[in-house]
């Protein structure tokens, strides 16, 4: 059973046990989803305490026999498969500021074109802007996403070949929805993509429901919509993805999580489905 503590401001806790546990759970869980699914690893709104570190190792396997057309209708022939191994690290530089990094290796097949090797390196920082008496936290995060694989113009799904810049505003809410227990984390981001790819507006929402001190259900939605100019071979697209997972704490600061991934709707994207398993350690 994990000792959740009460963060760096115990005097602000309305109820130490109830508030500290959701904050710690959300931080680790939100970070996991970012690592397993998107090009960018993002953690929850709550920063890590100074000199505390979280290390996550994730294996995610997805496939997409179908793609979604501009009208959102499924069509065969996508031929997309991806296996990703990723390491995500975040550490508390100060009590209000967390440094983050992610390194990913991928084996990707898209339209018969295969690439294998390191795919990207992400570096960034998250800082707390406000913390309210209720426990709600508002933070800001900035990340640079550096590509580590060759850009192939004929297949933009594999890499744009340019650095991306992600700026986001995060809100962490330690209370559940209506009468349900739990916590929420919402993130609104603008991602500037280099080269000819269109920029993105992203909205991520995580809802965590603790079943006990050792078991946690996590539900997450990721929405992406492109804006600005898109030049060939890139085009505009939109995507709504859902993730459901169950996390088990088997020792203090040690967690294992199993999850399912599914593209719910979209346009001009592949319709991915798959699974992930993750192990992380807090120290």
pTM here is 0.82
Show the domain range for 118.
10-282
Q: Above 50 in pLDDT, residue 26?
A: no
Residue 5 lies in a domain: no
What percent of the chain is modeled with pLDDT above 70?
A: 81
**Spatial contact of 224 and 200, defined as CB atoms under 8 Å apart:** yes
Three-point CA angle 146, 151, 152, nearest 5°: 160
Task: Domain count for the chain, please give it.
Answer: 1
- CA–CA distance, 281 with 283 (Å, rounded to integer): 6
Residue 175 lies in a domain: yes
Q: Convert the pLDDT of each residue in 108-137 to its tens digit.
A: 888 777 889 999 999 999 999 999 988 899
Residue 252 lies in a domain: yes
Residue 158 lies in a domain: yes
Burial of 2 (0-12, 13-18, 19+ CB in 10 A): middle
Q: Which of 13-17, 32-36, 71-75, 169-173 has the highest mean pLDDT?
A: 169-173
Contacts with 78 (C-beta within 8 Å, 6 or more apart), sequence order? 64, 65, 66, 67, 111, 270, 271
Bridge-based pairing of strands 215-227 and 238-251 is: antiparallel
Residue 4 lies in a domain: no
How much is the average pLDDT of 147-156? 68
Residue 96 lies in a domain: yes
CATH number at residue 86: 2.40.160.40
Instruction: Please give the structure tokens belonging to residue 2.
Output: 């994990």
- CA–CA distance, 245 with 260 (Å, rounded to integer): 6
Residue 2 lies in a domain: no
pLDDT at residue number 266: 93
Residue 1 lies in a domain: no
């Amino acid at each position: 059973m994990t000792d959740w503590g009460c963060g760096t401001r115990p005097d602000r806790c309305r109820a130490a046990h109830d508030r500290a546990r959701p904050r710690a759970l959300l931080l680790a869980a939100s970070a996991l989803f970012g690592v397993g699914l998107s090009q960018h690893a993002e953690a929850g709104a709550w920063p890590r305490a100074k000199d505390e570190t979280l290390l996550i190792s994730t294996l995610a396997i997805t496939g997409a026999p179908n793609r979604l057309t501009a009208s959102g209708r499924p069509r065969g022939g996508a031929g997309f498969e991806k296996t990703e191994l990723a390491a995500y690290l975040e550490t508390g530089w100060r009590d209000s500021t967390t440094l983050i990094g992610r390194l990913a290796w991928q084996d990707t097949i898209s339209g018969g074109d295969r690439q294998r090797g390191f795919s990207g390196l992400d570096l960034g920082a998250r800082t707390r802007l406000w913390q309210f008496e209720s426990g709600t936290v508002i933070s800001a995060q900035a990340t640079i996403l550096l590509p580590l694989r060759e850009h192939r113009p004929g297949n933009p799904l594999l890499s744009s070949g340019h650095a991306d810049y992600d700026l986001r505003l995060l809100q962490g809410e330690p209370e559940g929805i209506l009468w349900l227990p739990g916590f929420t984390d919402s993130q609104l981001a603008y991602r500037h993509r280099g080269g000819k790819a269109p920029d993105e507006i992203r909205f991520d929402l995580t809802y965590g429901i603790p079943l006990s001190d050792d078991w946690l259900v996590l539900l997450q939605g990721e929405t992406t919509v492109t804006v600005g100019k898109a030049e060939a071979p890139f085009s505009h697209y939109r995507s709504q993805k859902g993730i459901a997972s169950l996390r088990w704490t088997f020792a203090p600061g040690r967690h294992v999580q199993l999850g399912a991934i599914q593209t719910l709707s979209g346009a001009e994207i592949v319709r991915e489905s798959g699974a992930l398993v993750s192990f992380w350690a807090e120290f």
